[in-house]
Amino acid sequence: MRATADPLRATGPSSVTTNAARGGTRAVPFAQEQAARAAFVAIAGGCVLAIAGLLRARSIPSTCVNVHRSDDASDAAIWAVSGVKELQEAPPVIGRDPDAHSLRRRMEALLRRGQEEICAAVEKCDGKATFRTDAWMRDDGGGGISKVLVDGAVWEKAGVNLSVVWGAMPQAALAAATEKAPEYIKKMKLKPGDRVPFFACGLSCVMHPRNPHCPTMHFNYRLFEINDKVWWFAGGTDITPAYLDEEDMRHFHGTYKKICDKYDARFYEKFKKWADEYFRIPHRGETRGLGGIFFDDLNDRDQDTLFKFCEECLLAVPGAYLPIIEKH
């Protein structure tokens, strides 16, 4: 049965789509301010820096953004990230916070752990191809690790990409990144023209199997921090099958419902609906895929609780997805 927009009786998912992967670079002579803004907005939109690795090209990572954000965010898609250089090997820590117990360091460590564990599980399942790793650093602050698998036995292409960036951006970039920008700007007592310091780290993934009965999967988990009082988590995992298998969808959604219910009985319904709406294709009047969870601006409780929630969601990816792949 082909997947349609009709919701499943068991779980009710209705729509999701993955972010577009862009390859190559585009040299545009914008100022460094715009490049820094592009870097921040790219992560804010849930996209990957260095997604160009999907084409197996060693090039400056290009930025991509989710069009749901704003015109500012979509404009950032054509801005090259300046001052990026390739490394022979990733440093043990990309972020510069000296406190190993800080939220920034803990989040980077979690994302790197998730990247390694997910890639190892996918390689084992594929049985043929391995992930190629490229590390890069950004002169203006930050870096990342791109892992790309191409021409596997199971997956045609898969990318699992980490970005850790920081710097200062114009207030317009914050507005493109979060609907709560006016609230945050007021809380920080910023004047017009003041730049906004930021730290952002995220892990993004898109996987495309060869077999049409094996669904495409996407996830992104990220942290934004302006200062110790202005921060939020965002992310989600979603699935896009070409052919519908209700048992598969019950397994996938059931995995994330179980995690959500541990933290708040309202989380799953809220975040599933958010994913459905976030990835709807308005101009087509239709939905793609069978959903998942999505959340943004999540800072309504203490950092440790929300960190653990993100940790469980991220590390659940192999268990939620790979049994479906192995089945088909």
CATH number of the domain that residue 256 is part of: 3.40.1500.10
* 167 assigned to some structural domain: yes
| Phi and psi angles of residue 301, each rounded to the nearest 5 degrees, phi first | -150, -175
- Which of 101, 208, 213, 218 is catalytic? The answer is 218
- Closest-CA residue to 146 (of 159, 155, 156, 137): 159
* 1 assigned to some structural domain: no
3-8: Cβ within 8 A, 24+ apart: 3/240, 3/241, 3/242, 3/243, 3/244, 3/289, 3/290, 4/244, 5/286, 5/287, 8/244, 8/246, 8/249, 8/250, 8/290
* 294 assigned to some structural domain: yes
The confidence score (pLDDT) of residue 61 equals 38
Number of domains making up the chain:
1
* 5 assigned to some structural domain: no
Could you tell me the residue range of the domain that residue 78 belongs to? 32-327
* 160 assigned to some structural domain: yes
**Positions of the chain with pLDDT under 50:** 1-81
The confidence score (pLDDT) of residue 274 equals 94
* 19 assigned to some structural domain: no
The most distant pair of C-alpha atoms in the chain lies apart, rounded to whole Å, by: 57
The confidence score (pLDDT) of residue 82 equals 54
For residue 65, the Cα-to-chain-centroid distance in whole angstroms is 11
The confidence score (pLDDT) of residue 231 equals 94
The confidence score (pLDDT) of residue 115 equals 99
The confidence score (pLDDT) of residue 140 equals 79
Could you tell me the pTM of the whole model? Answer: 0.77
* 6 assigned to some structural domain: no
The confidence score (pLDDT) of residue 76 equals 39
Residue 202, classified by CB atoms within 10 Å of its CB into exposed (0-12), middle (13-18) or buried (19+), is buried
Does 218 qualify as catalytic in the annotation?
Answer: yes
* 13 assigned to some structural domain: no
The CA angle 157-161-166, to the nearest 5 degrees, is 155
